[in-house]
Amino acid sequence: MPRDRVRCVDCREPVPTDARICPHCRAVQPSPLLDVGLVVGGVFCVLFGVILAVMTVGASRLVGFTLLMLGFGLSVGGYTRYLDRQSSRAAR
Ligand SMILES: [Zn+2]
């Protein structure tokens, strides 16, 4: 990937994308890609779960409901993390 470096949220120094902690000021770096992945994965789980739960019966319907719950939790969790980050950034 060409964009393998991002800037620190705190000191604006370039840091590696996969670094969770800034090497310059030790600020914990947010990973928006991870949140997006969480939400997208959650939405896919929900969609797949709905299809399974509606279209099938028996064990696969149970799996569908489980996916539905899992996907809901994932997407809500990712979105909440995103909102948390926005508010903490605004407060700064
Ligand atoms: Zn920094």
What percent of the chain lies above the pLDDT cut of 90? 39
Query: Can you give the pLDDT at residue 72?
Result: 93
Q: How far is the CA of 74 from the centre of ligand 1 (A)?
A: 29
For the chain, domain boundaries: 1-30, 31-92
27 C-alpha to ligand 1 centroid (Å): 6
Helix (H) / strand (E) element for 24: namely none
Cα 80 from Cα 44, distance rounded (Å): 18
What pLDDT is stored for residue 28 in this prediction? 81
- Rounded Cα distance between 60 and 22, Å, is 45
Band (pLDDT 50/70/90 cuts) for residue 47 is very high
CA dihedral 57, 61, 62, 67 (to 10 degrees): 180
C-alpha to C-alpha distance for 62 and 43, rounded to whole angstroms:
18
Give the distance (Å) from ligand 1 centre to CA of residue 64: 43
Hey, which residues does 21 pair with through a beta bridge?
Answer: 28
Give the model confidence (pLDDT) of 64-78 as tens digits: 999 999 999 999 998
